[in-house]
A and B are shown apart, each in its own frame.
Chain A
Amino acid sequence: MDYQLELTNVAKHYRDFIAVDNVDLQIKKGEIISLLGSSGCGKTTTLRMIAGLIDPTRGTIRIQGQNMNGVPPHKRDISMVFQNYALFPHLSVYENIVYGLKMRKIRDKKVLMERAREMMDIVQLSGVENRLPRELSGGQQQRVSLARAMIVEPKVMLFDEPLSNLDAKLRERTRVEIRNLLKRMNVTAIYVTHDQEEALTISDRIAVMNKGKIEQITVPTELYTKPATKFIAGFVGHANFFEGTVQHVDGDRILVKSKGGHLIQAVVPGASQLSFGKEVTLAIRPENILAGGAGENRPNLVSGTVTARIYLGSTVRYLVDAGEGKEIEIDLQTKHLVDCGEGDTIHFSLDENNLILVDR
């Protein structure tokens, strides 16, 4: 299988600091991959190494099978959309858009005009050809930078948090547009973001980075329902954690005694590899916790004191102190509200099928 972009064992060290640590990544033609992580996790460094703006300390980067080590950025046949757009302030919108083509030695005015017009139609930007970038709105500038990067038909298109300067509404709309556009043009793209929602909507696969490493790379739905590590469970959406020791293993079913003294039964794949006494962490999403169960006597029943009640519109979030260290978050549909406020005791149960076994 030939990959459009392949990273093998890529690392970047700054003196004692390891920014990127042995990253492996294979990307097929036309695929959109997000690098998701908080700031300082190495995602931007990885992107800049692919662009050739910084050299990796070790490892190889291949584009269409060709080793890119030592190849300067302008010979990599890629393009990039920057966080601040980086539109050339002294050039008109038209000149900005055709910049990459001109640098590829396309001189014919008619060809340039035609390609620019076509591209501006695609990104829905017309009538502003002769304006300067500073005369455009943030959303328009974003479109220009998209057009400028896409017009050169790059082998790989790189995105460095391109939406973080837009307001929330525009951001939501633009990310869907970007995805549709990339799919339509069959462009291979790497998309760096710290916004999990953005990563979930835009990508075919998401690579979650933490401390310079890729912790998990998978499709968006799996990332939410089957996070591999505690970090990912907490980073992508909200999660509650129950740390404890295994009491009993039966096929895929395990019984765990949590730190707070609760008995929790969970159905998790790979449970058979666990044994008595093993320390494990179970995670559950706030929306998968069900209220009720007072007076019953079975596993997975937890009770605690409500410390806060946060109204979120369609749901209400309860923060509950159940003796598990961190407070437990429970999201209840507003229409299923239970009558209980701060300081009251709340009873709830954890569905054994919605508990996830995570690393660390």
Chain B
Amino acid sequence: MKLTSLAGKLARFLVYLFLLSPLLVVVITAFSDTNRVVFPPRGFTLRWFERAVHSAEFNSSLLLSVRIAVVSVVIACVLGTMVSLWFWKSNSRAKGIFESVFLSPIIIPTIISAVAFLQYFVLFGGLFTNYWKLCLTYAVIQMPYVIRTVTANLVGLDTSFEEASLVLGASPVRTLFHVTLPCIRQGIVGGAVFSFVVAFDECVIILFMKSAKTVTFPLRLYSYITESFTPLISAYSTLFIIVAAAVIYLVEKKIGLSKLY
């Protein structure tokens, strides 16, 4: 009994080590007092973090990435929630077809989507700036994530909440905002978090659709790494690991990500 529980602990430890060791390497190299990323690191310095915080190029790319991600998340959440609500209410036969259509961006390889979006914007590109092209493209890519999480929430939602609201005198629109949306808040927030991550670290589509004005953060990291492989990259990565961990922790605490599956 004791032996098995010990073996279990050991196995778990090894799995976590396997999952986390690449991250550990990145974090450790960020403190290396060398001009190249080396492992094991030599010396100890915080100067790469200082450079990371002060780099104008990186900061503008970061801001751009956040702006694109936020706008695309808002679009994806609004449209994705609308689609989910329709799936929830409808008994139509067309539903099955639309379900596969709306979930297809997850299944279709990103590289194919990227080519498709590129060609699409060649045709209609004059209508949008490159920034909006990216926002719209990412919104399409993100929608399946929102639809998945919101639908998961709606499946367990009793229709009598809406009925109670209607019978108590609320119009359908007020019912949507006062009852239905608050009830599926979890799914919407969960979908938003996933979509944000998808948009934020996307690097295939951006390779096809970039312009001088739209060098997003992943792209900046990528082009920087091809030129010089300094621990600055590791410093950025470390900052991101910290931020991501904090966000996941907060979301988990506030609404419980695990409930979405």
Please give, as numbers and ranges, the residues of chain A lying within 8 Å of B97 by CB-CB distance.
Answer: none
Please give, as numbers and ranges, the residues of chain B lying within 8 Å of A78 by CB-CB distance.
Answer: 167
Please give, as numbers and ranges, the residues of chain B lying within 8 Å of A87 by CB-CB distance.
Answer: 164
**Chain A contact residues: over half helix, strand or loop, or mixed?**
loop
In the complex, what distance in Å separates the CA atom of A91 from the CA atom of B165?
12
In the complex, what distance in Å separates the CA atom of A99 from the CA atom of B174?
11
Residue among B166, B168, B175, B183 with max Cβ neighbours from chain A (10 Å): B168
Closest Cβ–Cβ distance, residue B3 to chain A (whole Å): 43
Closest Cβ–Cβ distance, residue A243 to chain B (whole Å): 43
Given B167, B170, B183, which contacts A90 in the complex, CB threshold below 8 Å? B183
Q: Is A88 an interface residue (CB 8 A)?
A: yes
Residue among B164, B178, B185 with max Cβ neighbours from chain A (10 Å): B164
In the complex, what distance in Å separates the CA atom of A80 from the CA atom of B168?
7
Q: Is the CB of A88 within 8 A of B167?
A: no
In the complex, the number of residue pairs spanning A and B with C-beta atoms less than 8 Å apart equals: 72
Considering the complex, give the chain B residue whose CB is closest to the CB of A48: B163
Q: Is the CB of B164 within 8 A of A103?
A: no
In the complex, what distance in Å separates the CA atom of A152 from the CA atom of B160?
19
Q: Is A149 an interface residue (CB 8 A)?
A: yes
Please give, as numbers and ranges, the residues of chain B lying within 8 Å of A89 by CB-CB distance.
Answer: 161, 183
Residues A152 and B168 in contact in the complex (CB < 8 Å), given A84-B158, A86-B158? yes
Please give, as numbers and ranges, the residues of chain A lying within 8 Å of B167 by CB-CB distance.
Answer: 51-53, 73-74, 76, 78-80, 158
Q: Is the CB of B166 within 8 A of A74?
A: yes
Interface bits B146-177 vs A (CB < 8 Å: 1, else 0): 00000000000010110111111111101100
Q: Is A298 an interface residue (CB 8 A)?
A: no
In the complex, what distance in Å separates the CA atom of A60 from the CA atom of B181?
34
Task: Please count how many residues in chain B sit with their CB below 8 Å of the partner chain's CB atoms.
Answer: 20
Q: Is the CB of B171 within 8 A of A74?
A: yes
Please give, as numbers and ranges, the residues of chain B lying within 8 Å of A103 by CB-CB distance.
Answer: 165, 168-170, 174
Please give, as numbers and ranges, the residues of chain A lying within 8 Å of B174 by CB-CB distance.
Answer: 103
**Chain B contact residues: over half helix, strand or loop, or mixed?**
helix
Q: Is the CB of A149 within 8 A of B168?
A: yes
Considering the complex, give the chain A residue whose CB is closest to the CB of B168: A100
Closest Cβ–Cβ distance, residue B196 to chain A (whole Å): 23
In the complex, what distance in Å separates the CA atom of A100 from the CA atom of B174?
12
Closest Cβ–Cβ distance, residue A233 to chain B (whole Å): 34
Q: Is A82 an interface residue (CB 8 A)?
A: yes
Closest Cβ–Cβ distance, residue A152 to chain B (whole Å): 7
Interface bits B180-214 vs A (CB < 8 Å: 1, else 0): 00110100000000000000000000000000000
Please give, as numbers and ranges, the residues of chain B lying within 8 Å of A53 by CB-CB distance.
Answer: 163, 166-167
In the complex, what distance in Å separates the CA atom of A316 from the CA atom of B183?
52
Given A52, A90, A99, which contacts B168 in the complex, CB threshold below 8 Å? A99
Closest Cβ–Cβ distance, residue B186 to chain A (whole Å): 10
Please give, as numbers and ranges, the residues of chain A lying within 8 Å of B169 by CB-CB distance.
Answer: 74, 77, 100, 103-104, 152
Q: Is the CB of A99 within 8 A of B183?
A: no
24 A-B pairs (CB sep. < 8 Å): A53-B167, A73-B166, A74-B167, A74-B171, A74-B175, A79-B168, A80-B164, A83-B160, A84-B158, A86-B160, A86-B161, A86-B163, A86-B164, A87-B164, A88-B164, A88-B178, A99-B170, A99-B178, A100-B168, A103-B165, A103-B170, A104-B169, A148-B168, A149-B168
